[in-house]
Amino acid sequence: MRKLFALTAVVAAFSSSQAFAQAKSHEGFSLGANAEFDRSSVDATGTGAVSDSANSTGLGLQAQYSWALGSNFLLGLGATANTGNRKAGTYANGNDAYTKDRYSIDLIPSIAVTNKVLVFARISSVAGNATSSNGTSTASIQGLGYGLGFRAMIDNNLFWQAGYDYVKFNDVTFGNGTVSSFKGNILSLGIGYKF
């Protein structure tokens, strides 16, 4: 009976350390760059206001640190910057609306499926600027983002990843009195390096 108990204890210890190694292989600091495909919309109210949507592409840069919290779970904290203007559509009197200078602070819970594949969720506090094509209307915007994705290691340090994020900004009032609500659906595909 003692031998069976000892054998069970050894197998359990080995299994848990192997599983913990799964999460440990994803732990640490990483940098990434993503090609982003953005389907944004603006819902506007006021004189001459309309609701519209548009497609844009851009580059997303991210930095993240992840901690292993057990056998398969990790928790990451990161920051993301989205480059370029992201067209949201026409909002008033034929003027186009854009979001620009978007950045976020991200909380990223993850599950290590294997020591090479990671599935993650993302909850983000997002900020940036909303602007019009005629340059007369600009406002700071804040909102929340939610996303899902996966990361696959190419070797011990290099990885590729894909994700989907939904961002909803708080309503803003431009100088012309138009109240606008910005939303975005972002598909991303990128590559990165884990240190």
Amino acid 194: pLDDT: 94
Instruction: Please tell me the CATH code under which domain 2-194 is placed.
Output: 2.40.160.20
- 107 φ, ψ (degrees, to nearest 5): -105, 125
Three-point CA angle 85, 87, 89, nearest 5°: 155
State pLDDT tens for residues 26-43: 889 999 999 999 988 887
Instruction: Identify each DSSP E strand in 69-116 by its residue range.
Output: 73-82, 86-92, 95-112
Percentage of the residues of the chain whose pLDDT score is greater than 90: 48
Share the mean pLDDT of the chain. Answer: 83
State pLDDT tens for residues 4-32: 444 444 444 444 444 456 888 888 999 99
